[in-house]
A and B are shown apart, each in its own frame.
Chain A
């Protein structure tokens, strides 16, 4: 009898293991054909609202051209998105086409041979802004097509500025003067919701760029002589802590999440006068508090006179970047789909609805903000993409953590720079 139990149990265990193994095999690769011969493509992205509509319109156009093809669009919120894609790529059922931010995150998938090389596909690369395509080019091969470029700049409240006879600061000294005057008049000079860490990281990026120029990051990242312990980084940390010590920010900024909107509320209510944010802020204003738009103005990051950076340099993030899963059964269709998702027509919709410039040339600019942002991009001597999206994920994460701690006055600029460089050495193997 006991033998029978053992037999039963081992049979079930065997069955189970077999089932697990089978699961692993069956789930890789897209099972694109559904029962009635219709071809199905899965598309994942992370943008809600107006941008989601723009992608849907592009998908509709694509489906019209291909009668027998259906595209399943799945929008997954930002925080969840990265995890879902990693899990899908590692064993689940990855989407045929998906959005990312290019940079180090995408490169991680490229290194694991999960992303299709688009270099020699039938795509008109001339329509893209070069620097944006570089963001998804690794070893001279293109792995993603960019659509939007969100520029990072200061938004300010014109009413408050007029009330205190302040002018838009062009140099950093003028900027500090604005901060001091606002402070004296009990207005928070700068609104900051730094819990997700990227809003604060914008300051570090801009300071390092204005102080040392774009080469500081490039030579640290490409390991061509520079490092993340460069003087410019130490100084950038000092500038950040100087602002914190001046009480330039709203109190408790390191504990305020960005998405829940408390940071933006400070701007809307006039409690804070300026905010360094992505171009997506314009859309937030229009959706959340349209009355604010008439008071709102924008200006680029001020020039630091003793720094070496080109004042036309801007920081911006490319998003979305459309890529294709390497082992998709429908690679031709997928290429056509991402071609449509980055077509001039799609880009036009994106510009009109999202207040964000595009990486595609030949669109008509109707929105005043997009016109300003696009001019900055066109004039820029160099565009700095956010570190956390460019660097290998581990280093990007450390960059956000050390910058967060700089804002919290929990580390010194030297310590932050040194721990970045130590990790960089470990990752790049030097």
Chain B
């Protein structure tokens, strides 16, 4: 299983509002791609455009180099932001039905339903109506609906929201597993630490435009140097305020993350820290994804 999803110059306007503004990026197979952006950045519109659920003013969505056709979309899996299943339909029957709509035979749909319900820990609820399940289990069933036909492209809009840590671990593991199996996986989330753990590649958009993209390593090591400093007894990092060429990125529980301009000597920073107390931590660090995100958005 391999494929390549390419979005090229997607533009979508709703009256005066521009939801997508020439957005381009690609999703290769074998990787989990995190799709980030603030609320209203155009993530959901982008995902809907992949499935033809919104009309584009311009641009194209290509699968393996060719425009996406209805037949291609039956091999894609989609978990929309607004979760949706038939409330009064039985879980097992619902998944079989969706599997068959995606091209599975009856027997294969039945078998795949059993496999995915088991894999996601909701096998015992196969005979229950969806609206009798807890939020977490409905989320698992919704993911199973996106996976039941073993899609070649998996697009998930906020798949981890509202889940407990166990659910996050389970679903995260499935995403990584599908990517390892050669599937293209694109998912959006506001939980940046989870994205950092799960994704190899990240795409960040804002106002419908691409603002940053690359592997997590590339993004983490790119840009200005970062120092992590901890001074005993100091929780506000007031000593760092006003240091020339130094900006405070984050202060968290006594640990301050500083961004150094190129000309700044780190020894100057160390001296300033030592002047207010005993320095217990002083090291260079990679950019966190949250920092990448904030800096990308300006």
Do the two chains bind?
A: no
Interface residue ranges, A against B (CB under 8 Å): none
